[in-house]
Every structure is written in C-alpha cells, then in structure tokens.
Amino acid sequence: MTETVVLDLTRQAMMVGFMLTMPILAMVLFVGLAVSLFQAVTQIQEMTLTYLPKLAGAAIIIVALGGWMLQTTVGFTTLCFEYASQVAR
C-alpha cells in the first residue's frame, strides 16, 4: 500500500465520518436554537429543558437516515477490506 492510497483512505474516512455526523449535529443545533429562543421569549430559564428535544431530534434523524448511514458505513468498510486484501498479496 503506497502513501497515496493511505492518504486517500484517510481522507475518505474523514469524509464518511463528516457525512454521518453532520445531519445529527445540524438537527441538534437547530433544536437547541429553537429551545433557546423559546426560553428567551417565555423567560423560562430551566437548564434541563433542552435535553429531551435535542434527544428526540437526534433520534428522528437516526430513524429517518439510518438506512443511508448504514449503507455508507458498509460501503466504506467494504472498500477498506478491498484495500486490505490487496496488501496481503
């Protein structure tokens, strides 16, 4: 395995990680902003109020995009095993 292959595989791993986490992180960010806005408008300053909506939003994204996330992970893992099999030759 050459340096180019290792660097390409590392870049792809970072991109897969980024693609898999960004939908969840974006949902949690927007839900957090909405809850913060709601707290500012109603003057409710309860710190634990943000946890359940964020958790529910993350769960919705995982349920909605779980199949795509699994396919992406399996595809990348298959690619890694293909590269690993070429090294053993």
Q: What integer is the mean pLDDT of 79-89?
A: 82
Q: How confident is the model at residue 88 (pLDDT cuts 50, 70, 90)?
A: low
- Please, what sign has the CA dihedral across residues 28, 31, 35, 37? positive
Q: How confident is the model at residue 89 (pLDDT cuts 50, 70, 90)?
A: low
* pTM, two decimal places: 0.80
- In order, the DSSP letters of 43-61 are T---GGGGHHHHHHHHHHH
Q: Would you say 73 and 20 are in contact if contact means Cβ atoms under 8 Å apart? A: yes
pLDDT digits over 7-64, tens only?
A: 999 999 999 999 999 999 999 999 999 999 998 899 888 888 889 999 999 999 999 9
Boundaries of every domain in the chain: 58-89
